[in-house]
Structure formats: C-alpha cells, structure tokens
C-alpha cells in the first residue's frame, strides 16, 4: 500500500482491470478476477460500479480504498502500508484507518504500518518500532512504548505532537 495510490495506477486503465491484473497474472481467469474485484470494491465501500471508472475519477480517500482492494486481490498474509493515510484529511483518515482495522481482522492479516504519526501508530499497531536515521532505537508493545518511552528520540517525538492548550480546548467547547 502506497502513500499516493494514484501514482501506482495506470491512468489509462479502468479500476477493475487494475485490481484484476495481479490475480490474472497468477492464473485466475479474467471473469473470476473481475468478479473478485467487484466483491473487493464492495468490501471497501466503493461498489462494483467503480470497476469501469478511471483513477482520476476518484478522490484521494477513494483511491486509497482502491489500493486496499488491489492489495487484497492477491490474498496476502501480510500487508505493508507505507504512510497510507498521511495525504488524507483527518475525517477521511479515520474512515480509512477503520477500514484497515476491519480488513486486518476479517482476513486475519499481519500488517507492517509505516507512519510518522504516532497517533496513527497508537491506533493501528500492536507493536511499534521507533526508527532514527534508519536504526530501530526502541521497540515494544505500542501502549508501553507510548506511555513510557525509554529512548530520548521516542520521548522527543511524543513531546513534538501537537496538543491543544487548556485555553484552546475551552474555546472550542464554547
């Protein structure tokens, strides 16, 4: 799964074809692959009518849903998601993160979820590895790492997260 799913889609190919390509290459018939693509589009909330549309006809969140359907078409055991929600607005992020959680549970998938957003990592991950300059500096259960970071870099990342001041929270509540 890519941060920018549009970059991985051929603008001249319809979405159904993009999703069906992998299974067809693995020996599935075109009809079965397209039927599977329709099922997966339904699963990710787009519906089978999306099969005949082109990538430019979808929003960023919809394209990310297409990316999820495309990945699932290969029936993986592991999904690698590289910043898959960073380019989305907060409300769409929440929808896509919920979809990732549902897909992970339904298909019993393991996921490697790469993100700079510790809030997203806290929501999506059972375990977290914090990297600095390409090296893992801290690893453990997400709740433990975020609640009691042992490495200075992890503490710096947590402290750098934007927070509303008490005055801002009060102003929003009014």
Output the pLDDT for position 119: 84
Confidence (pTM): 0.83
> 5-125 has which fold?
Rossmann fold (3.40.50)
- Residue 69 or 5, more confident: 69
Nearest CA to 18 out of 170, 57, 138 is that of 57
67-71, 118-122, 146-150 — which is least confidently predicted? 118-122
Output the pLDDT for position 142: 94
**Can you tell me the distance from the alpha carbon of 152 to that of 85, in angstroms, rounded to the nearest whole number?**
26
Domain ranges of the chain: 5-125, 127-174
Output the pLDDT for position 110: 93
Whole-number percent of the chain with pLDDT over 70? 94
Average predicted confidence (pLDDT) for the chain? 90
| 165 pLDDT above the threshold of 70 | no
Output the pLDDT for position 169: 55
| 56 pLDDT above the threshold of 60 | yes
User: Please, which residues have CB within 8 angstroms of residue 126's CB and are 6 or more apart in sequence?
Assistant: 141, 142
Mean pLDDT value across residues 24-53 = 95
| 173 pLDDT above the threshold of 70 | no
HEC string for the chain: CCCCHHHHCCCCCCHHHHHHHHHHHCCCCHHHHHHHHHHHHHHCCCCHHHHHCCHHHCCHHHHHHHHHHHHHCCCCCEEEEECCCCCCCHHHHHHHHHHHHHHHHHCCCEEEEECCCHHHHHHHCCEEEEEECCEEEEEEEHHHHHHCCCCHHHHHHHHHCCCCCHHHHHHHHC
């Amino acid at each position: 799964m890519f941060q920018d799913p549009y970059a991985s889609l051929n603008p001249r190919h319809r979405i159904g074809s993009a999703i069906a390509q992998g299974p067809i290459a693995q020996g599935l018939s075109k009809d079965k692959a397209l039927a599977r693509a329709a099922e997966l589009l339904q699963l990710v909330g787009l519906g089978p009518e999306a099969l005949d549309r082109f990538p430019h006809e979808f929003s960023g969140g919809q394209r990310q849903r297409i990316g999820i359907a495309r990945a699932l078409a290969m029936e993986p055991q592991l999904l690698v998601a590289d910043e898959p929600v960073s380019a989305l607005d907060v409300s769409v992020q929440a929808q896509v993160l919920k979809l990732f959680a549902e897909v992970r549970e339904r298909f019993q998938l393991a996921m490697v979820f790469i993100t700079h957003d510790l809030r997203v990592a806290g929501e999506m991950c059972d375990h977290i590895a914090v990297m600095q300059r390409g090296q893992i500096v801290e690893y453990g259960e997400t709740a433990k790492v975020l609640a009691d970071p042992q490495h200075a870099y992890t503490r710096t990342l947590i402290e750098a997260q934007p927070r509303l001041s008490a005055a801002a929270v009060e102003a929003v509540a009014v």
